[in-house]
């Protein structure tokens, strides 16, 4: 039978070390909503989302109360809207109308984000993909809860550089349209390579076309718990270090598994995957950078950071796959800057640069995330940064992403405040040399060869 020390360990994790289930995300297919008439399409979309997710928030809160585990976010992901709107939308404003109805549906069911205002264009863009992408700045400026993502490359298809060039402009335009709110729109826009169909985390969640009609994906978290566990193994060998991370990841994932099973039963929606990600928040003690420091680095970004992060990422997965049979999504350690107090401190101390962050993305899940850059950064430079990150994903067969925020009117030395889970960030310097000519080239970067791995 359970004993008192096990009970206090669990409750200590929850109360003191920020253990929580980060999100229950309901994936909803909107393919059966498709109509050639925009008004009917909007009605179908609203009804499907409302009917599917009306009990999501209440169920999440009930489970949270019964097991004493906080479930921080309840969210929705939908089929990429460029597919759903293809036959009804003829102007960018038509897509913006869909964004508005998604925002309304999300608000009415009480979720805190809805993802899937997306296009998958890793090899080429259809006219509707292009229209959707062009509509992103307006859509994100006039909605609050809608998140957008564009997949511009994959290991199988290469990188669509036309989409990369376009996205540089779109990121800038989104920043300009939301300049009055510190370019907040860009915090809800991700550019992906190898985007997973079942990611529960925002802003990149969408419900892939390979998924069932409705599905529940769960994102666990707990950087604080891992850090606390590592405090007891100072000076120990790497074997002990790895073992400690693994055991902690197991425990954290088991909580996610419990919530997933309960939510699936109560909502009558099949369980999809658990995303084993260490997702930081701006709260003190809920930081991935702090784990790296606990391993023995003065600051995230110091030499050894990439190795420490690689170790962490791998051990989290090893512990997590033992705890749940269905692991998916992004799974690994997230390294957003603005959402992680340890990362912010590292940037402020001058320990962490954009280039080091890029190196770190080679060994962890996702990529350059929530990084504020000067507002004068050109569209071509943003495209260049996106292209670099996409190349890392394509060559290494992993998911990578870029969520950059060119903060209009701000420069290196300034700080931006996004509020809530999105946190705050110092504006980071960007390499000032031009890549204009490279980015102006048309076409695609071909898919990589899968042999001769050097």
Partner 1 sequence: MERAIITVVGKDTIGIIAGVCNYLADNRINILDISQTIVSGYFNMMMIVDITTLEKPFGVLSDELAALGQEKIGVQIKIQKEEIFNLMHRI
Binding site for partner 1 (CB under 8 A): 1-4, 6-11, 62, 65-69, 251, 254-255, 257-258, 322
Q: Is the peptide bond before 301 cis (omega within 30 degrees of 0)?
A: no
Cα three-residue angle 326-327-333, rounded to 5 degrees: 165
Beta-ladder partners of 214: 28
Residue whose token pair is 């350059």: 368
Which residues are CB-neighbours of 220 under 8 A, at least 6 positions away? Answer: 21, 22, 252, 253, 255, 256, 274, 275, 276, 277, 320
Distance CA 178, CA 270 (A): 38
How near is the Cβ of 107 to partner 1 at its closest, in Å? 25
> Smaller CB distance to partner 1: residue 248 or 305?
248
Rounded to whole angstroms, the Cα distance separating 209 from 198 reads: 10
How far apart are CB 39 and partner 1 at their closest, in Å?
41
| Beta carbon nearer to partner 1, 322 or 428 | 322
Q: How many CB atoms lie within 10 A of CB 67?
A: 16
Q: In this complex, which beta carbon is closest to partner 1, that of residue 86 or of residue 321?
A: 321
Burial of 59 (C-beta count, 10 Å sphere; 0-12/13-18/19+): buried
- The tokens for 87 are 């036959």
* Minimum CB distance to partner 1 smaller for 79 or for 253: 253
- Beta carbon of residue 6, minimum distance to partner 1 (angstroms, whole number): 5
Comparison of 100 and 251: residue with beta carbon closer to partner 1: 251
CB of 22 to partner 1, least distance (A): 16
CB of 112 to partner 1, least distance (A): 22
* Helices (H), ranges, 120-237: 127-142, 161-177, 223-231
CA 452 – CA 51 distance, rounded (Å):
51
Residue 214 burial (CB count, 10 A):
19
Instruction: Report CA 135 to chain centroid distance, whole Å.
Output: 21
Closest contact distance (angstroms) between CB of 68 and partner 1 is 4
Q: How far is the CB of 252 from partner 1 (least distance, A)?
A: 8
| CA separation for the pair 315, 371 (Å, rounded) | 26
Q: How far is the CB of 218 from partner 1 (least distance, A)?
A: 13
**Alpha carbon of 151 to those of 71, 87, 155, 158, 385: distances in Å?**
28, 21, 12, 11, 15
Query: What SS3 state is found at 235?
Result: coil
Q: C-alpha distances in angstroms, 368 versus 19, 29, 357, 361?
A: 25, 29, 7, 7
Nearer to partner 1, 6 or 32 (CB): 6
Q: How far apart (Å, rounded) are the C-alpha atoms in residues 221 and 281? A: 10
- What is the smallest separation between the CB atom of 248 and partner 1, expressed in angstroms? 10
Residue 124 CB, shortest distance to partner 1, in Å, is: 46
402 in Cβ contact with 385 (< 8 Å): yes
Nearer to partner 1, 43 or 254 (CB): 254
Nearer to partner 1, 257 or 377 (CB): 257
Q: 66 vs 231, which CB is nearer to partner 1?
A: 66
Closer residue to partner 1 in complex, CB, 11/431: 11
Maximum Cα interatomic distance, the chain, rounded to a whole number of Å: 68
């Amino acid at each position: 039978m359970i004993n008192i020390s096990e009970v206090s360990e669990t409750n200590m994790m929850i109360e003191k070390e920020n253990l929580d289930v980060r999100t229950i995300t309901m994936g909803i297919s909107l393919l059966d909503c498709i109509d050639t008439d925009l008004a009917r399409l909007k009605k179908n979309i609203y009804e499907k989302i409302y009917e599917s997710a009306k009990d999501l928030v209440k169920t999440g809160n009930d489970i949270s109360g019964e097991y004493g585990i906080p479930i921080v976010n309840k969210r929705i992901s939908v089929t990429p809207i460029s597919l759903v709107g293809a036959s009804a939308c003829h102007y960018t404003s038509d897509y913006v109308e869909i964004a508005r109805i998604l925002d309304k549906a999300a608000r009415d069911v009480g979720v805190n984000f809805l993802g899937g205002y997306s296009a998958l264009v890793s090899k080429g863009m259809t006219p509707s993909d292009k229209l959707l992408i062009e509509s992103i700045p307006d859509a994100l400026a006039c909605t609050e809860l809608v998140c957008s993502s564009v997949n511009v490359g994959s290991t199988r298809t290469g990188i669509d550089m036309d989409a990369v060039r376009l996205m540089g402009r779109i990121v800038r335009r989104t920043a300009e349209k939301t300049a009055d709110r510190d370019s907040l729109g860009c915090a809800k826009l991700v550019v992906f390579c190898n985007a997973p169909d079942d990611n529960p985390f925002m802003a990149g969640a969408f419900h892939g076309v390979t998924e069932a009609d409705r599905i529940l994906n769960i994102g666990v978290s707990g950087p604080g718990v891992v850090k606390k566990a590592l405090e007891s193994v100072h000076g120990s060998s790497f074997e002990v270090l790895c073992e400690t991370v693994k055991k902690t990841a197991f425990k954290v994932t088991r909580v996610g598994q419990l919530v997933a099973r309960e939510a699936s039963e109560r909502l009558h929606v099949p369980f999809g995957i658990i995303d084993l990600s260490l997702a930081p928040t701006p709260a003190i003690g809920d930081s991935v950078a702090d784990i790296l420091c606990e391993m023995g680095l003065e600051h995230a970004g110091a030499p050894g950071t990439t190795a420490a992060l690689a170790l962490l990422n791998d051990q989290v997965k090893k512990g997590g796959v033992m705890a749940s049979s269905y692991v998916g999504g992004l799974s690994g350690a997230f390294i957003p800057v603005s959402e992680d107090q340890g990362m912010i401190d590292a940037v402020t101390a001058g320990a962490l640069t954009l280039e080091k962050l890029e190196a770190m993305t080679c060994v962890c899940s996702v990529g350059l995330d929530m990084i504020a850059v000067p507002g004068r950064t050109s569209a071509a430079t943003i495209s260049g940064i996106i292209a670099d990150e996409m190349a890392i994903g394509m060559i290494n067969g992993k998911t990578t992403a870029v969520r950059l925020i060119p903060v209009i009117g701000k420069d290196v030395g300034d700080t931006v405040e996004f509020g809530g889970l999105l946190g705050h960030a110092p504006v980071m310097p960007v390499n000032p040399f031009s890549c204009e000519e490279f980015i102006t080239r048309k076409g695609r970067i071909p898919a990589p060869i899968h042999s001769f791995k050097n």
